[in-house]
Structure 1
């Protein structure tokens, strides 16, 4: 029954999707279908364990990459994502082989980096907690955490400002930018907001819990929210709680040589026409140059 409901939802999404520019139709379809596929995987399977690295020296980059519209998605025979495309290009320019290990949860990615099962995590914005543990590349693109909630009968958000969250609980994924932002909101406003962090739920899962009425509020990435909200007008992300954040690649603090290579390559590539074309292809907003 769940599979039938998911297929019906996918077909409805495809019928309603009418991009203004014909050239983007295929891309939108891929992104929307990838979202549905990710939600199904959350219900039906556990993420595969990350394989340990083997061999000596560095001739292969192993990258733990998260399922998001900007980072990585799979639909049929198509694999895409801005992080995915850029890392492949960087590895080629550096004469390295690249191996991607798709993950659903951020905690899984960071655990893999800590245990040396991967070399790079793509992608996260820097936070005070993570800056003390990892080296971050310069910003690659921006995304904005948004508050997902139901609309009132008059169409307006239940919580019109962060102050309206006082005494309530907001759900976030552990290690996500949403977690840091909501703790900052509570401090900035002096409001008693409980922040529930989940190791085992990503943005799609949290959105589904709000949609099903299991929780009242969740903060997720703006890019995935924009896709999911197309099919759920009863929900809204209209209440602003954050500004756009730059997303970066992470490496271990001890891996200074790899970090230097990444920074050097990004310093040249991000100013190129090829980068601008990639960002436009995925609808990503480039981060400001450092």
Structure 2
């Protein structure tokens, strides 16, 4: 018996099949104290903590690039407010609501159906989009060519025919509330089974594979998933159009106001229209849907994942960090060459390639091996100066990009001007960024002179941000 089937059987053993028995979870969450954390506290930290859900439209990685409807909205909001994003991923709505109340996160950035009788301590923002709920069912089995008769089963088109049927939905989602109301409307029971550990798209996958018969989904997401599962039917609506919103704490009045004002204006822009069309209206090609480089389907960042993992393991580096560096350097193109003569996946300069014994700089394994060895070489030379390994990664990355001499200069400048030479952000990074100014590159403590510091400054930030995304979605 498969793991998924076992899970479903266990759920059924502990869940009464009547449609009014699935209320306990929301009531348990109400007792969590509501933390006092609003826009002033968030601005003081300079960081807004956000949780979103990992699926093929909201947040994923494709060919090494973090993507998603919610991710792009969040990036636009961060640009608007000047705040940094701390994005985490959790598909369990119960945990998300708890974390929101306790202050672990400030925003639940997802497709939450806004309703009046909301949970205690939760406030919904202006809608970022609209959708209606639809029933997800099979038109035929995936193994229909093997003689399955599943295709002869009539599809549900009348909501009355849901009487007595078992529908699996995400715990504490708006789908639960809608199905309960629908049960009242049709005057008959619908067996609602709430699953805590499965996100909406995972339940859609179970319907497609025949593990379960029915689930409910927002129509825009359901239609995207038809590209993955052509054996599904999503033509039966079970609700009117609904507002899709984010959620914040009900006492975060200023944060709610800023989000609402931004959304009202941003939804009128061509930029918003392009983002929405990109993820919900444009037909996904089968090439993308079946692509191994989609984190949902194939789980690959690149063609070179196995090599990256093997070489990273030799020096106990996280392969996802190396992958983020390679994406930044070459977009995983082994023949890439920079204007300065750096070549290959990790953009090795000729002298670096020679030093680490590279005979063919375009050979992926040789290039990656040498790049990782060079990173280790830099790490060893910075170890005594920057003892904290997490902090040292930033110095290593900057050195990989611009040379360790310029980083040493920036550290000396930081120390001279009363900053911490062992801290990167708002300390050493400032002096590397401004090392193109005569005041700094002519300073007596500077040995290596002028440096265009803007590139390594952004290089470190972009690699680490992408690395965080990789950690969110890649094992």
TM more than 0.5: yes
Query: Given that residues 150 and 157 in structure 1 are in contact (C-alpha distance below 8 angstroms), is that contact kept between their aligned partners in structure 2?
Result: no
**CA distance in structure 2 between the aligned counterparts of 1:171 and 1:183, rounded to whole angstroms:** 13
Once the 2 structures are TM-superposed, how far is the Cα of residue 199 of structure 1 from its aligned partner?
Answer: 1.1
Q: 1:22-63: CA deviations, max 9, x gaps?
A: xxxxxxxxxxxxxxxxxxxxxxxxxxxxxxx99993411111
- The equivalent of 2:211 in structure 1 is 214
| Counterpart selection for 2:231 from 229, 234, 237 | 234
Question: Compared with structure 1, are the counterparts of its residues 204 and 55 closer, same or farther at alpha carbon in structure 2 (3 Å cutoff)?
Answer: closer
Q: Does 1:144 align with 2:132?
A: yes
TM-score (norm 2): 0.45
- The equivalent of 2:189 in structure 1 is 192
| Counterpart selection for 2:122 from 126, 134, 143 | 134
| Counterpart selection for 2:221 from 210, 221, 224 | 224
Once the 2 structures are TM-superposed, how far is the Cα of residue 132 of structure 1 from its aligned partner?
Answer: 4.2
**CA distance in structure 2 between the aligned counterparts of 1:242 and 1:116, rounded to whole angstroms:** 33
Q: Which moved more, 1:217-226 or 1:195-204?
A: 217-226
| Counterpart selection for 2:44 from 51, 54, 57 | 57
Query: Given that residues 59 and 66 in structure 2 are in contact (C-alpha distance below 8 angstroms), is that contact kept between their aligned partners in structure 1?
Result: yes
Higher helix share: 2
Query: Given that residues 220 and 280 in structure 2 are in contact (C-alpha distance below 8 angstroms), is that contact kept between their aligned partners in structure 1?
Result: no
Question: Compared with structure 1, are the counterparts of its residues 210 and 256 closer, same or farther at alpha carbon in structure 2 (3 Å cutoff)?
Answer: same
**CA distance in structure 2 between the aligned counterparts of 1:119 and 1:93, rounded to whole angstroms:** 17
**CA distance in structure 2 between the aligned counterparts of 1:84 and 1:156, rounded to whole angstroms:** 39
**CA distance in structure 2 between the aligned counterparts of 1:140 and 1:112, rounded to whole angstroms:** 22
Query: Given that residues 70 and 284 in structure 1 are in contact (C-alpha distance below 8 angstroms), is that contact kept between their aligned partners in structure 2?
Result: no
Once the 2 structures are TM-superposed, how far is the Cα of residue 245 of structure 1 from its aligned partner?
Answer: 2.1
**Larger relative contact order (CA 8 Å, sep ≥ 6):** 1
**CA distance in structure 1 between the aligned counterparts of 2:128 and 2:42, rounded to whole angstroms:** 30
Q: Does 1:83 align with 2:80?
A: no
Higher strand share: 1
Question: Compared with structure 1, are the counterparts of its residues 80 and 178 closer, same or farther at alpha carbon in structure 2 (3 Å cutoff)?
Answer: same
Structure 1 or 2, whichever has the larger Rg, is: 2
- The equivalent of 1:261 in structure 2 is 258
| CA RMSD of superposed structures (Å) | 2.7
Gaps of 5+ in 1: 3-52, 286-290
Gaps of 5+ in 2: 3-36, 141-148, 283-475
